[in-house]
Each structure stands twice: as C-alpha cells, then as structure tokens.
Amino acid sequence: MLRQDDSDTQAVSGKVKWFDPVKGFGFVIADAGGPDILLHANVLRNFGQSSVADGARVEIAVQQTERGVQATEVLRIDPPEGTEGAPLADFEQIDPEQLSAAALEPARVKWFDKSKGFGFANVFGKSEDVFIHIEVLRRSGLSDLQPGEALAIRVIDGRRGRMAMEVNAWESALLR
C-alpha cells in the first residue's frame, strides 16, 4: 500500500528488516519494493516504543532526503507473521476466555535483559512485579524494553505469579 499524504510524505507498508536499539536505527523493506527505508529510534519513540521486532509489519510515513528514504512517522506496527502459533507453555493451562478477558493495565518497565530473555514491569497501584518473557514481546511486535518505559500490558496470574501475556506501547493502547 502506498498512498500520497502530501507532496513530501507518503504512507508505506512494509516489513522491518532489522532494528538495533543500541545503534538507534534499523531498516524497513517496502512491500512495493525500492531502497531500504531508514527507521530512526526517535521516530519509533514518537510512536511510544523503544524497539520493534525484526519481521514486524509496519505502516510508516516516509520522505525522500539527501541521505535516502527515511521514515518520518510510525503509523502502525503489527507483530511478525507466524508469532501467533502455539501458546507459550506458561499459558497452556489457562482458560482461553480468561486470556481474552484480561484488561490492559498501565505499567512501567522495571528492567528487561534481552540476553536473558525476560524482565519485569510494575503495574501502577500494585506491588507485585509482572514477569515479561521475550517471546511475549516478539508476539507483541517488540524486541526490547528500556527501564522506565511506559506500557499497557495484559496480565494473568500464571503458575509463577503475575505474567504479561501481551505488551503494548502506552500510546497504542489508548487507541484500543
């Protein structure tokens, strides 16, 4: 999908080729082809996320610059295809109706270690930590979290305590 928004900016659908939050940028491959599109961390932050999963589907506003095609705004992020498959082992014994009925809760990232594959968040007004597994991040279209980052998460009481089953950027949750 490619639509003209104004004379300088176009909306483009594509897939994240890769994104490195440490480097502060990554690239998107447009569905319509063409050169890779630079996605800077600041543009992603304006959408309310500090990372995006490789292979995630995105809709972005782009602009041609002296340095090539660059994303100027993130309009939408969808998780990578194929991440909805089999449930995570921690969620297998939970009633699917309970999973779908879980409300979005406002939270902040306490810490997250991508190399360990997990981290924790605190839900506002509650004292217990919420466990966040990296696979839940991937299924939510994210690849990493930063301490203090605001989120909207769906939480369930699992075998090991409170666990996030879905993680959203705070701003995207306001639209749901």
Condensed to tens digits (0 to 9), the pLDDT of residues 128-176 reads 899 998 888 888 888 888 899 989 898 888 777 889 988 887 765 555 5
Split at pLDDT 50, 70, 90, the class of 9 is confident
Rounded to 10 degrees, what is the CA torsion of 126, 134, 46, 171? -40
The domain boundary, picked from 78, 100, 123, lies at: 78
The domain boundary, picked from 78, 97, 120, lies at: 78
- The more confident residue out of 126 and 176 is 126
Q: Based on the domain organization, do 31 and 65 belong to the same domain?
A: yes
Length of the chain as a residue count: 176
Task: Examine the pLDDT at 108 and tell me if it is beyond 70.
Answer: yes
| CA dist list (Å): 94 to 99, 121, 125, 128 | 7, 21, 25, 20
Query: What span, in angstroms and rounded, lies between the C-alpha atoms of 38 and 60?
Result: 11
Average pLDDT over residues 20-36: 91
Rounded to 10 degrees, what is the CA torsion of 32, 73, 9, 16? -20
Q: Is residue 130 part of a domain?
A: yes
**How many domains are contained in the chain?**
2
Q: Is residue 83 part of a domain?
A: no
The pLDDT mean for the chain works out to: 83
Average pLDDT over residues 70-89: 74
Task: Examine the pLDDT at 5 and tell me if it is beyond 50.
Answer: no
Q: Based on the domain organization, do 67 and 21 belong to the same domain?
A: yes
What is the structure's pLDDT at 95?
67
136 CB contacts (<8 Å, ≥6 apart)? 88, 163, 164, 165, 166, 167
Split at pLDDT 50, 70, 90, the class of 101 is confident
Q: Based on the domain organization, do 61 and 95 belong to the same domain?
A: no
Q: Is residue 100 part of a domain?
A: yes
Q: Output the pTM of the full model.
A: 0.60
Task: Examine the pLDDT at 62 and tell me if it is beyond 60.
Answer: yes
CATH of the domain at 93: 2.40.50.140
Task: Examine the pLDDT at 86 and tell me if it is beyond 50.
Answer: no
Task: Examine the pLDDT at 71 and tell me if it is beyond 90.
Answer: yes
Split at pLDDT 50, 70, 90, the class of 2 is very low
- The more confident residue out of 15 and 7 is 15
What is the torsional sign of CA 44, 106, 121, 58?
negative
Task: Examine the pLDDT at 45 and tell me if it is beyond 70.
Answer: yes
3-state secondary structure (DSSP) of residue 130: strand
What is the extent of the structural domain holding 145?
89-173
Q: Based on the domain organization, do 104 and 127 belong to the same domain?
A: yes
Q: Based on the domain organization, do 99 and 168 belong to the same domain?
A: yes
